[in-house]
Amino acid sequence: MSKTDHFFIRDPWVYDPEAPRKVREDAGRGFDTKALHAGFHPLVNQNDFRSFVPPLVQSITYPYETFEKIPCPVYGRTRTPTNTVLEERLAALEGGEACITAASGSQALFNLIFTIARPGDNVVTSLNIFGEGYKQATAIFPERCGVAFRFVEDPADPASWDRRIDGRTKLVWIETPSNPCLFITDIAAVADAAHARGVPLIVDNTTATAALQKPMALGADMVLLSVSKFIAGNATVLGGALVGEESLVEDIRWNTTEFVGAVMQPMEAWMTLQYVETLSMRMARHSANAQAVAEFLAGHPGVEHVNYSGLETHPQHGLACRQMLGHGGLLSFVAAGGMAGAARLMNSLRLVVHAVTFGTSRTICMHPPTITHEHLTPEERRIAGIHDGLIRLSVGLENPEDIIADLDQALGKV
């Protein structure tokens, strides 16, 4: 694509539900085969060394062979060969046409909204979104770009989504399962509500990943990913990605990241390619461990409430079983004794580490009311279920009995 085909001041990408979608050549392959092969074959891809693994190309610039012909890639702000392999792989796993990586998941969200919305436009979402997403929705975009975010009253009711959409709605955005309260939104129902009004749906698939949930097969138009979480899996990569139509991805690439940068570095893309190979196996183990931990916590008198869709007591357990292949590694629970109880418990943990992020191979915990969701008003926190004693637990790949033993001894001190 020539740079002159695109220019900054022009009409943004327009959603066309009737536009023919490309079918990927590897669409019929299994998830693990795609996780290992999509986007790169040692004998097919341009690769002078016949490297078995996708090569790490750190170069940020690519030479012109002639004055007239713009090379592809041309410069690291738009693409690099290593990022392109990862983008192909993530698109294949999510079942989308194309993908663009970003410096973080938050950056990927920002790039999308910044590209498709103009002052006066709006985005419809709910309070079940990650903390930085909430800050973009309530402060950054409304105050600095004139783009409003509308929160639905009842995210479980498709009519509630319909009511918030109007002629200036550019996007409906859901996060399911949500961080930190594991609310499950019905992807197909919200997709129908959005499409009936000619609006695209994006699903943040960070907590489930494509190994456990395929939003695009359920009707979503785009997928948002924080690569920093389960996809990379051990807190060594900060990265994000957006999967969707090629025309949208190229609009973001040439009209936003080309000018502002904030791209994922090739080294991060290369590391992610190694980790993504084992994604489905890790997610299966995260899910099994989280189920065991959730059941333990649900039966403990020091715990008031557990949020995990694998528990039959979860209000959307049936929906989660229908739209997901497993319930994932993230859960949250409310410790008895409010914030003081949560603090005592977290200070007593010996194996489980207290740190920001989730989706790591090691079990990690965090206190959303003070760390990620502190900007919500008390009323919004009440609606979103973010109680003072809420602890988010990202269940890792350790032997589950050791995680449970650590929680048990810490709960004994509350």
- Cα separation of 216 and 283, whole Å? 19
Nearer Cβ to ligand PLP, position 122 or 226? 226
- Cα separation of 117 and 146, whole Å? 9
* Cβ at position 401, least distance to ligand PLP in Å: 28
Tell me the one-letter amino acid at 412: G
* Cβ at position 126, least distance to ligand PLP in Å: 13
Nearer Cβ to ligand PLP, position 82 or 178? 178
Least Cα distance to 346 among 302, 396, 401 occurs for 302
CB-neighbour burial class of residue 96 (10 A; exposed 0-12, middle 13-18, buried 19+): buried
* Cβ at position 283, least distance to ligand PLP in Å: 15
Nearer Cβ to ligand PLP, position 122 or 372? 372
* Cβ at position 335, least distance to ligand PLP in Å: 21
| Cα dihedral sign, 342-288-191-25 | positive
Tokens for 183?
A: 């609310």
* Cβ at position 203, least distance to ligand PLP in Å: 10
List the alpha helices (DSSP H) in 206-278. 246-252, 258-260, 266-276
* Cβ at position 90, least distance to ligand PLP in Å: 14
Nearest 5°: the CA angle 229, 231, 232 is 75
Tell me the one-letter amino acid at 347: N
* Cβ at position 340, least distance to ligand PLP in Å: 25
* Cβ at position 352, least distance to ligand PLP in Å: 18
Which residue of the chain is nearest ligand PLP when measured via CB?
105
From the CA atom positions of the chain, what is the Rg in Å?
A: 21
* Cβ at position 223, least distance to ligand PLP in Å: 11
Please spell the DSSP secondary structure of 165-215, one letter per residue.
Answer: --TTEEEEEEESSPTTT-----HHHHHHHHHHTT--EEEE-TTT-TTT--G
Give Dmax (Cα) for the chain.
Answer: 73
* Cβ at position 12, least distance to ligand PLP in Å: 22
Binding site for ligand PLP (CB under 6 A): 104-106, 130, 132, 175, 179, 204, 206-207, 226, 228, 238, 240
Tokens for 7?
A: 């220019």
Nearer Cβ to ligand PLP, position 122 or 228? 228
Nearer Cβ to ligand PLP, position 55 or 360? 360
Tell me the one-letter amino acid at 170: K
CB-neighbour burial class of residue 17 (10 A; exposed 0-12, middle 13-18, buried 19+): exposed
Please spell the DSSP secondary structure of 368-382, one letter per residue.
Answer: HHHHTSTTS-HHHHH
- Cα separation of 276 and 93, whole Å? 10
CB-neighbour burial class of residue 344 (10 A; exposed 0-12, middle 13-18, buried 19+): middle
